Amino acid sequence: MVIASEAPAPVPARAARRRRPSGVERARARAGWILLLPALVHSAIFIAIPALMVVWFSFTDARVFSGGEFIGFENFTELFGDRTFRGALVHTLLYTIAVVPVAMAIAVLVAVALNQQIRARGFFRTLFYIPVVTATVAVSAVWLWIYNPSAGLGNQVLSFFGLSRSGWLTDPDVALPALMVIGIWQSLGTKMILYLAALQGISPELVEAAKLDGASRWQVFWNVTWPGLAPAHFFVLVTSIASSFQVFDLVYVTTGGGPANATNVLAFDIFTNAFQRLQTGYASAETVVMLVIIAALIYLGRLTQRNQEV
Amino acid sequence: MRGKLSAAALAALTGLVLAGCGSSGGGGGAGSSGDPASVTGTLRVVAPNFSADNKGQEVFQGVVDRFHEEYPQVEVEGDFIPYNNLNEKISTALASGDNYDVVMAGVGWVQPLADLGAIESLEDHGYSVDDLEGVPENFIDPVMWEDELYAVPIVANPRLLAYSKSAFEAAGLDPTKPPQSLEELREYAKKLTVRDASGNITQTGFDFWADPSNYRQQFVAFMGALGGREFEDEEPGFNSDAGREALQLIHDMIQVDQSSTYGYMNSAQTALVTTGEAGMGFASPYVDCSEAGIGAKCDDLVYFTLKDQDEIMYSGGRLAGIGAGTDMPEAAAAFIDALRDPASQAAISAMDVGVPLNADAVDPSFFENNPAGQYALDHLDKAVFEYGGATFLDFRAEFGPALDAAILGERPVDDVLAELEQTALGER
Amino acid sequence: MTTSTPSTVAVTTAQDPGAPSRRRPPGDPLAGRAPRVRRLPSPGRALLYLALSVGGFLMVAPFLWMVLTSFKTLNEVNTFSWLPQGVEWQNYVDALDAAPFLTYFRNSLIVVVGQTVPVLVIATAAGYALAQTPIRGRGTILNYFIMLLVVPFQVLIVPLFLVVRHVPLAGGNDVLGMGGTGWVNTWWALIIPFVSAPLHVFLARQFFVSLPSDLADAARMDGVSEIGIFTRIMAPLAAPAFVTIALFNVESAWNGFIWPLVVTSSQEIRPLQFGLAAFAQTDPVQWPFLMAMSAVATLPMILLFVLGQRYFIAGLANSGIKG
């Protein structure tokens, strides 16, 4: 019985590079290409090409996506001297660093808890999923109430503990952390589903075998479940980094980047430059920088998975 | 009021590449070339002022019907998008070159879009300032660019000021006397602030009705009362004594007097003075005094204008222009005329929480339950606006957060305004 | 016996580690099920239920508020409250009347189905190919998909619009894609750009990577073609992945707003979010109507989730992995 956490395919492939692939291998590869092609072609037309257009624009001074002359790296140099951009970059990094690990950790715990045989677990699962589909308007209304600087729930809790009131989203020092909490809250549902799906793929025989060998619950978790979740971790990590870096709706609906740009994040800054100031070239350059940074972070994330075949 | 008035924009783009629109070329007076009754084609209108629901469609249809009286064979295609998303729509329209023939927008965007070459001068199509008789004079400058008329104002969207008589009485103020200067406003606000035992505000003294980064219009209003204007002749005018004093005053009222909570809005984002949560503050030009609305509270409210050196009322406005390069400029101009028709104005004001500009457009029943609207109508000549020159868009994006920095005391007022001036002059 | 210990996180599978003697023989279709034992929850269990309940309530609070507010009158919304003073069912009727919601619903449905069905096929096929077939350069191709994943949608809006507008031989365009309007303001524009997504390909790939290949090997020896292996053996095993992709895609298609906004101009093909936006951008905001229609809009997705999450387990039971 093959152990589920191992990915068998890469091993023969590495061997295959040192010799000519057999007919069977070639046939398999051909079939693979057939299966892959539609997605590849589609992504090239509808994502890659537009993305390349954005890169092109980043080297021009275009306004509203038309015309514009080639200006080389001017946009980029201007960008790095732009205080608003630098602020947005820092805020986005902080936001990502805070939200991603915390949300992933909580999501794993919740998924594991909801994968057990407990009563009404379908009900609980639905509860944890609901934030994902709740209208953003409703989400912001409730959280704005919680964070209301006058008499919101947040301040009531603070005064209950004898702490002084906070301005929450109207206080430049607290606004970003307050948003991080909402971000974690909002992203739990999606991650939970992903981990739940991944948990279904972990062989129960393996768990059983480990238990029979005398492993404690924690050892079972750490040595069987956790490695089995490796592909899921990688996926959740990558997509979490990407979506945290791209956080926009949350900021747009609650603080609009304020107060005093304290919650300005990259996606919002790009939006402001592209659609409020109609400076396409500049916004495109900002996007390129953002992409490079996310790519670097994901690469680092990949490195942490190096010891596993993902 | 995040973005409602500030996201207005739309330049009429018309770079239609399609062949087949048979109207004769522009350049003549409206209607002077070709018989309108026989012109065919499709007129594309982008209409953020009309809500996408059934009520909005009805009002739009009314305008179309009026338009059809002159151009019966021209089909009208309306694109109803929410006001906040006008920017995205313009960008795609501009980018693809498939532009609109008629564009509806708000005050502030005329100059940048004219500068981008997206809307045409109306004077090429027989319109001149004289055609705007009946429109209050101060509404003319916001639609001009390089001394030519580029758009036509349709309705006004003012922000009023109001106070509560009962709150005045409780604070020992005379309920028949609104503040006559900004200093008085400040004093009144201090007296009107009511706090509970732990120091939280239970009644706001003066409600700015703004969330963080959206104190722009309030600043323009205060500065206006001190005699300053945001831009004059397309040059920045806010880095002046009036501007500095206004910003300093707002800072002092919020941080020093603490007569309001910075950035506080109630759950429904309505004006606090109308819900009874504030003694005085900014308010909407629409109020429903019937039982279904705020009912008896209406009798308690008194509307007033900001007074100091000048007496002013902040206002936004909806306008319409012709897209650059349109194939059907006469038809477009006729559609704009249909928009300005008194019946259209009345219907649009009712739907859009605005006030008609044309005195004939006033339907008495409209203001029966809406004393705010009546007050706004009577004071249209005191309107000041938020608009500038070609750099207005760049400037506006920075304006809100910069004001925050000053109001929160993070940076001195003088520095903030000086820096903004540089952006407005295109130097940053 | 082990269920009574306080620690609650160790067990991960559907099998309850109750008394080992209750384990069923291999091959028994009920092998994954826990023995039905009725006994009082242990302190550990009770704590778990408590934590889940508190957490669940926090998660669901905005949704509750949304539903409760849909029964309030407009004046009531000025101050934040939970329970409505009366139950205004009329809000739902009025909201439905206020805008052509039936058309909007129908449009959203068409778009969602039109996107999700192809996505399930295309993305899982590609994911499988990247995970289990010896394509040369598949690591690079995976990196390519991941890179595409990180491009934020807002910046793609206008370039994608240009692509859609210049589709050759569509909407009056000539072979070079000039002269007409392409797919603008058509169903194609709403559906085709989303029938595949790097996110889903990546997800499917991760899932297939964790599946063992011995079944495939056995089938290969039986002479089943590669593509047959995918459709007949691997795909059924991937039920959780299918459900997840479907959930994600339905959610994003159902909530899509900006793209339909820029690419359509006529009411006939605009989706649900437009109707909601109409309520959200009036002055004053029509909160009760907005909440009513938002609640109605959320129902299909919740339904889909409730049905789908049960399928997670059914998928495993039907998988044939054991034995």
Chains that touch B (3 or more CB pairs under 8 A): A, C
How distant, in Å, are the alpha carbons of A272, B8, B118, B418 from that of A276? 5, 10, 16, 22
Element (H, E) at B155: strand B152-158
- Please, what is the Cα angle at B349 between C260 and B1, to 5 degrees? 60
Question: With 70 as the cut, is the pLDDT of residue A250 above it?
Answer: yes
Q: Do C267 and B95 touch (CB under 8 A)?
A: no
C-alpha A177/C-alpha A263 separation (Å) is 9
Q: Do A204 and C159 touch (CB under 8 A)?
A: no
Percent of chain C at pLDDT exceeding 90 = 19
How distant, in Å, are the alpha carbons of B265, B294, C288 from that of C78? 10, 11, 11
CA proximity to A75, closest of A293, A296, A289, A294: A289
A226 touches chain C (CB under 8 A): no
Rounded to a whole number of angstroms, the distance from the CA of A184 to the nearest CA of chain B is 23
CA proximity to B381, closest of B127, B209, B158: B158
* Token pair recorded at residue B147: 């001394």
- Please, what is the Cα angle at B15 between B13 and B18, to 5 degrees? 130
CA proximity to B216, closest of B426, B59, B407, B43: B407
Sequence-distant (6+) residues with CB within 8 A of A160 are none
DSSP string over B169-232 = HHTT--TT---SSHHHHHHHHHHH-EE-TTS-EEEBSSB----TT--HHHHHHHHHHTT--SEE
CA B279 to chain centre: 25
Rounded to a whole number of angstroms, the distance from the CA of B20 to the nearest CA of chain C is 12
How distant, in Å, are the alpha carbons of A268, B165, B250, B286 from that of B183? 38, 20, 11, 28
* Cα nearest neighbour of A84 on chain B: B398
C-alpha C69/C-alpha C84 separation (Å) is 7
Question: With 60 as the cut, is the pLDDT of residue C16 above it?
Answer: no
Chains that touch C (3 or more CB pairs under 8 A): A, B
Pick among A145, A170, A271 to test the B interface (most B CBs inside 10 A): A170
Under DSSP, the state recorded for A66 is B
Q: Quickly state the pLDDT bin for C18 (edges 50, 70, 90).
A: very low
Mean pLDDT of A229-240: 87
Q: How many beta-carbon pairs below 8 A join chains A and B?
A: 99
How confident is the model at residue B325, as a pLDDT? 79
Rounded to a whole number of angstroms, the distance from the CA of B245 to the nearest CA of chain A is 20
Cβ atoms of B347 and B277 within 8 Å: the answer is no
CA A215 to chain centre: 34
How confident is the model at residue C316, as a pLDDT? 45
Q: Quickly state the pLDDT bin for A177 (edges 50, 70, 90).
A: very high
Q: In chain C, what residues touch B271 (CB-CB under 8 Å)?
A: none
How confident is the model at residue C216, as a pLDDT? 76
How confident is the model at residue A19, as a pLDDT? 63
Mean pLDDT of B9-32: 32
Q: Do A33 and C129 touch (CB under 8 A)?
A: yes
Question: With 80 as the cut, is the pLDDT of residue A142 above it?
Answer: yes
C-alpha B125/C-alpha B133 separation (Å) is 17
Average pLDDT value over all residues in chain A: 84
Q: Do A42 and C129 touch (CB under 8 A)?
A: no
* Cα nearest neighbour of C162 on chain B: B96
CA B16 to chain centre: 29
Strand stretches in B267-366, DSSP E:
280-283, 301-304, 306-307, 311-322, 355-356
Mean pLDDT of A76-87: 92
Q: Do B405 and A260 touch (CB under 8 A)?
A: yes
Q: Do B94 and A279 touch (CB under 8 A)?
A: no
B409 touches chain A (CB under 8 A): no
Question: With 60 as the cut, is the pLDDT of residue C107 above it?
Answer: yes
* Token pair recorded at residue B66: 């009026």
B412 touches chain A (CB under 8 A): no
Cβ within 8 Å of C, B 287-346? 293-294
Rounded to a whole number of angstroms, the distance from the CA of C163 to the nearest CA of chain B is 10
Residue type, A168: W
Percent of chain A at pLDDT exceeding 70 = 90
C42 touches chain A (CB under 8 A): no
C-alpha B97/C-alpha A156 separation (Å) is 54
Percent of chain C at pLDDT exceeding 70 = 83
Q: Look-up: residue for tokens 């991650």?
A: A191
Mean pLDDT of B7-14: 33
Question: With 90 as the cut, is the pLDDT of residue A306 above it?
Answer: no
Predicted TM-score (pTM) of the model is: 0.83
Burial B34-62 (b: 16+ CB within 10 A, else e): eebeebebbbbbbbbbbbbbebbbebbeb
Q: Do C163 and A45 touch (CB under 8 A)?
A: yes
* Cα nearest neighbour of B77 on chain C: C266
Percent of chain B at pLDDT exceeding 70 = 91
C-alpha A198/C-alpha B54 separation (Å) is 47
Q: Do C74 and B92 touch (CB under 8 A)?
A: no
Rounded to a whole number of angstroms, the distance from the CA of B10 to the nearest CA of chain A is 12
Element (H, E) at A175: helix A175-200
How confident is the model at residue A307, as a pLDDT? 53
Q: In chain A, what residues touch C135 (CB-CB under 8 Å)?
A: 29, 32-33, 36
Q: In chain A, what residues touch C159 (CB-CB under 8 Å)?
A: 49-51, 53-54, 65
Sequence-distant (6+) residues with CB within 8 A of B300 are B164, B165, B166
CA proximity to C130, closest of A210, A35, B281, A67: A35
β-sheet bridge partners, residue A82: none
How distant, in Å, are the alpha carbons of B186, C52, C280, C305 from that of A112? 58, 12, 38, 18
Element (H, E) at A77: helix A74-80
Cβ atoms of B14 and B326 within 8 Å: the answer is yes
Among A38-42, B23-27, B275-279, which range has the highest average pLDDT? A38-42
Mean pLDDT of B267-291: 88
Of residues B25 and A201, more confidently modeled: A201
Q: Quickly state the pLDDT bin for C10 (edges 50, 70, 90).
A: very low
What pLDDT digit, counting tens, does each position of C124-183 carry?
999 999 988 888 888 899 989 988 988 888 888 888 998 999 998 888 888 888 887 889
Q: Which domains does chain C have, with CATH numbers?
A: 4-13+27-70 (no CATH), 94-320 (1.10.3720.10)
Of residues B41 and A2, more confidently modeled: B41
DSSP string over C169-190 = TSTT--TTS-SS-TTTTSHHHH
Among B67-71, B294-298, C306-310, which range has the highest average pLDDT? B67-71
Least confident piece of the model among A191-205, B230-244, C139-153: A191-205
Least confident piece of the model among A205-209, A263-267, B405-409: A205-209
Of residues B262 and C6, more confidently modeled: B262
A303 touches chain C (CB under 8 A): no
How confident is the model at residue A98, as a pLDDT? 94
| Number of CB atoms found within 10 A of residue A251's CB | 25
Q: In chain B, what residues touch A282 (CB-CB under 8 Å)?
A: none
Burial B188-224 (b: 16+ CB within 10 A, else e): bbbbbbeeeeeeebebbbbbbbbbbbbbbbbbbbbbb
Cβ atoms of A258 and B404 within 8 Å: the answer is yes
Average pLDDT value over all residues in chain C: 80
ipTM entry: 0.81
Question: With 80 as the cut, is the pLDDT of residue A196 above it?
Answer: yes
Q: Quickly state the pLDDT bin for A13 (edges 50, 70, 90).
A: very low
Which of A28, A188, A197 has its CB closest to that of C240?
Answer: A197
DSSP string over C234-258 = IHHHTHHHHHHHHHHHHHHHHT--H
What architecture (CATH level 2) is domain A80-309? Orthogonal Bundle (1.10)
C-alpha A40/C-alpha B72 separation (Å) is 50
Mean pLDDT of C186-203: 93
C-alpha A240/C-alpha A186 separation (Å) is 12
